[in-house]
Amino acid sequence: NISEKYSYNSDYQIKENTFTREGYTFKSWNTKSDGTGTSYNENQIVKFTKTNMVLYAIWEGNEITITYKDGTNTTTKKLVVGSSDKIITCPFTKEGYTFKNWNTSSDGKGDSYSSNTVNTFTKDTTLYAIWNINHYRVNYSTNSGYISVSNTYPVYNETIKVSLYPSEGKKLSKLIITI
d(CA 177, CA 162): 10
Q: Dump pLDDT digits (tens) for 72-117.
A: 899 999 999 988 999 999 999 999 999 999 999 999 999 999 999 9
β-pair type (56-61, 11-13): unpaired
| Beta-carbon contacts of residue 161 (< 8 Å; ≥ 6 apart) | 149, 150
Rounded to 5, what percent of the chain is helix, strand, coil?
0, 45, 55
Sign of CA dihedral 99, 103, 106, 109: negative
Q: Dump pLDDT digits (tens) for 111-154.
A: 999 999 999 998 999 999 999 998 877 776 666 666 666 666 77
Give the pTM. Answer: 0.68
